[in-house]
Chains A and B, each alone.
Chain A
Amino acid sequence: MNPVLAAERLGRILPGEAPVTLVRDIDLKVERGEFLAIMGPSGSGKSSLLYLLGLLDTPTSGRVLLEGRDTSGYGEDELAATRLRHLGFVFQFHFLLAEFTVLDNVQLPMRRLGALSEEAAQQRAQQLLDQFGLSEHGHKHPHQLSGGQRQRVAIARALANEPPIILADEPTGNLDSHASANVRQILHDLTRAMGKTVIVVTHDPSFASAADRRIGIVDGQIDPDWRA
């Protein structure tokens, strides 16, 4: 079976007077339903790798294959459409839209996609909130929630269009240990109960034990000898 996401000799160099190599020669295959932790020291290029895998950034060499399809020739329209349907992002900072209610935030991707009617989208958003224990908070604004609650809203939003792949960049970097454990558990459950593929970039060593697989990035390359 094809890996759901694969990187082939992936490289990214920031151009400039002194070009900076963020990522070099990365080969990676991620299987469907896998919970993958990408670890490594600060500035090692692990977030850059995640942005490349999530089609937010364009590689300077190599390519990303999503469900077997080469994405290197994609134009802006196709990239945006692919992110909308196939990928869900969770960042260190929740990045919810402050002026919108929690329920509206979760609906944003659905309304952009336009596949569901407004009622259906609202219903689905409420279901997602229920799923993450946020039933009561739909009509609050993000600033009225705790950090852990906000991050759960962000996960609900990432799941809105039912993407097969969730990409998380330091999702617990800003949370206390209790909330961290909760978010980690949710991400883990996504792979088990819903068959999602979850790729997490993290510093947090406790992810190491929860993940199916851990890879270490050092100086933009996979370090086979890396230990958390």
Chain B
Amino acid sequence: MSIQLAIAVTQLVSRRRPTLVSLVGIALGVAFFLAVSSLMRGSEQDFIKRLIDNSPHITVSDEYRNPEKQPAWQQWPNGAVEIRRVKPLTEVRGIRGHIQKLAFIESLPGLRAAPVLVGSVVLTFAGRIEGVTLNGMVPDKMKGVSTIEEKLIHGSLDALAANPNGIVIGDGLAKKFGLEMGSVVNASSPGGEVRTLKVVGVFRTGNANYDESQTFVLLKRAQGLLDRANRVNRFILQLDDPYAAREVAAVIEQQGGYKAVSWQEAAEDIMSVLLVRNLIMYSVVSAILVVASFGIYNTISTIVMEKIHDIAILISMGFHARDIRHIFLAEGLILGILGSLMGVTFGIGLMWLLTQVEIKPPGATDIVHLPIYWGWEQYLLAASFALISAVGAAYLPARKAGRVQPVMILRGMA
């Protein structure tokens, strides 16, 4: 052990109380850092999990990120002559060649896809009229990509598969229209098609807007109603690894040409809110550590003041100002390391205690546990921040100690 380190350790050990107090300060700071960080990151993950579970991981729609050029422009991209009044090509909306495109998507590993035709219809029942979104889908495929079946409170998707004139509606819409299982409603499309549909299922997601505006029918029925035979305008994808959505979406978009939106892209605003929330949280908990490091500053400053004669004698003996600084920086480092170790231990205990907390949200029947994140990087973050604060706090007194003029001290004593 170097003599500087030996002196640092001896000085700390001989001042047990202040050393212990500053250690506890850092340890508490690290522990609270970890508790708050694990809780915030845990709730963030919980939130993202809900987000991922309740929305498609990737949605491929019949839109282009950059609209396709008109045929005349494609033919003569840099023509010297401008052709005016060219009639734009009108195409039937939908994903062209959707069967091949779906086959390609399904050939990618680790995902499930379902074709959907989404359109607007007007539901009429007993004099009430309401515009709703009609989702035409294939029940067997839909089960693989959506949690809608779990949300059904009456009926089933199989019942829909068995009944070409069936419709599944939301709880909110059912209440609004006074519909029950087996009730019959009229659906009319913007093109004038009218069908009579029978309620074979009712779902409740908890999202009032969704429950009032979304309806599900078979794909064939939707294609007929919306007069878009053999068309779909959306693929809904669910991935085994939701975090790969961005890359997979890019592959699909490049291959198929149509816009493929990952959940990350769709929830970009929420993700950035979460990022800002983390930044705020980490600034606040880091501030705790900065405050705790004042304890170290105080302890080491006191040692420097008390030991000013020792410093003078060490310098007269031939110690360099740098050696003196190293002694006190080493004290800060030792306090930082020990404090971090104590703090991480204490913090893990605190996190465990938090997992034991049971809460019952108002209106819910289930007991909920606090979501706690156990990721290793937060220990690293807490410990390194504690170390930096501790050494930073030791720096000022260490610099002061290095500037001691032995003659001034010796004169004062003599």
Contacts and interface: CB of A to CB of B under 8 A. Distances in A.
Interface of A: 47-48, 51, 54, 56-57, 76-77, 80-85, 87, 89, 91-93, 95, 97-100, 108-109, 111-113, 157, 161, 169-170
Contacts of A82: 318
Contact of B319 (A51, A80, A99, A169): A80
Going nearest first, the 5 A-B pairs with the smallest beta carbon separation are: A84-B318, A111-B3, A83-B318, A95-B313, A99-B14
Given A80-B319, A108-B3, A169 B414 contact: yes
Nearest to B317: A109
B414 A112 contact: no
Given A84-B318, A92-B413, A56 B407 contact: yes
Bin chain B's interface residue count. 20 to 34
A57 B413 CA distance: 16
Contacts of B413: 91-93
Given A92-B413, A92-B414, A169-B414, A51 B318 contact: no
Nearest to A118: B1
B318 A81 contact: yes
Contact of B309 (A89, A95, A161): A95
Nearest to A57: B407
Contacts of B314: 108
Contacts of B309: 93, 95
A91 B410 contact: yes
A77 B320 contact: yes
Nearest to B7: A97
Contacts, number: 76
A95 B311 CA distance: 10
B10 interface: yes
B371 interface: no
B133 interface: no
A97 B318 contact: no
A44 to B, nearest CB: 12
A170 B318 contact: no
Interface of B: 3, 6-7, 10-11, 13-14, 309-310, 312-321, 323, 406-407, 410-411, 413-414
Contacts of B310: 95, 97-98
A47 B406 contact: no
A182 to B, nearest CB: 22
A170 B407 contact: no
A97 B307 CA distance: 9
Given A47-B411, A51-B410, A91-B410, A112 B319 contact: yes
Contacts of A85: 318
A89 B316 contact: yes
Contacts of A109: 317-318
Nearest to A76: B321
A124 to B, nearest CB: 15
Nearest to B309: A95
A188 B242 CA distance: 87
Contact of B317 (A47, A51, A89, A93): A89
B407 A51 contact: yes
From B314, B316, B414, residue with most partner A Cβ within 10 Å: B316
B314 to A, nearest CB: 7
Nearest to A42: B414
B168 to A, nearest CB: 80
Contact of A170 (B317, B319, B414): B414
B318 A112 contact: yes
Contacts of B414: 47, 91-92, 169-170
B323 A112 contact: yes
A4 B309 CA distance: 29
Contacts of B3: 108, 111-112
Nearest to A201: B414
Contacts of B313: 89, 91, 95, 97
Given A51-B410, A100-B10, A56 B316 contact: yes
A69 to B, nearest CB: 17
22 contacts: A47-B414, A51-B407, A54-B316, A56-B316, A56-B406, A76-B320, A77-B320, A80-B315, A80-B319, A85-B318, A89-B316, A89-B317, A91-B410, A95-B309, A97-B10, A98-B14, A98-B310, A99-B10, A99-B13, A100-B10, A109-B317, A111-B3
Contacts of B7: 97
Q: Which of A51, A81, A97, A109 has the most CB of B within 10 A?
A: A97
Task: Name which of B314, B318, B320, B414 has the most chain A CB atoms within 10 A of its CB.
Answer: B318
B146 to A, nearest CB: 71
A82 B11 CA distance: 27
A74 to B, nearest CB: 13
A100 B314 CA distance: 13
A109 B406 CA distance: 16
Nearest to A91: B410
A51 B409 CA distance: 12
Given A93-B413, A99-B14, A169-B414, A80 B318 contact: yes
Contacts of B320: 76-77, 80
